[in-house]
Amino acid sequence: MAEQKEMQVPIELYLKAGIHIGTKFKTKYMEPFIYKIRPDGLYILNLEKIDERIGLAAKLLSHYEPEDILIVSRRENGWKPIKMFAKLTGVTVFAGRYPPGILTNAILKNFIEKKVLLVTDAWPDKNAVEDAARVGIPVIALCDTNNQSNQIDLVVPCNNKGKKSLGLFFYILAREYLKAKGIIKNNDEFTSKLEDFAEE
């Protein structure tokens, strides 16, 4: 058996958060990330691939300064985690409805220029994804088994609907981003708790 590589968090934490539990639907885009189908018809995502892609997302974001990053979550379960992420890192977030055009229309009062976008779900957040594509900035998207991956540069497979799952994702992302930026040296210096990102 292949040697298990070190995960970002203990495997039990991933399992407890249900980060790998998909939906009863799958798209061909998400097939490479699916590990198996449960007897109840739910697709299960591959934990190693989830872990690897979270690391890639943190690495990609670390090439940008906080003021160049935009995170959008129309889905309410993402609001607490993205606000906590913003508090720790200083990135711009929209929890709720993304105002269409703010990335593309310079005459809007709330126009902003960003260099990278992260969305918690490419479908409800499609206006933001389309705007990012128009201005040519890379898009990182959390994708469940039923997501399409058009206009997405980095797909992070995960349960993008659950509170615990989204909380755990942003908890790891915040820690890894701060480490990659040299703001903290190691995991021990990351003092935020998982509960700060997700309701129990």
pTM over 0.75: yes
pLDDT digits (tens, 9 = 90+) for 63-122: 999 999 999 999 999 999 999 999 999 999 999 999 989 999 999 999 999 999 999 999
Query: In angstroms, how far is CA 123 from the centroid of its own chain?
Result: 13
CATH of the domain at 69: 3.40.50.10490
Q: What band does 149 get if pLDDT is binned at 50, 70 and 90?
A: confident
For residue 17, tell me if it sits in a domain.
yes
Structural domain for 149, as ranges: 11-182
Q: What is the mean pLDDT of the chain?
A: 94
pLDDT at 200: 59
Q: What band does 137 get if pLDDT is binned at 50, 70 and 90?
A: very high
The answer to whether residue 9 scores a pLDDT higher than 70 is: yes
For residue 140, tell me if it sits in a domain.
yes
Query: Nearest CA to 181 among 26, 93, 66?
Result: 66
Percent pLDDT > 70 in the chain is 96
Q: How many structural domains comprise the chain?
A: 1
For residue 192, tell me if it sits in a domain.
no
Q: What band does 157 get if pLDDT is binned at 50, 70 and 90?
A: very high
For residue 196, tell me if it sits in a domain.
no
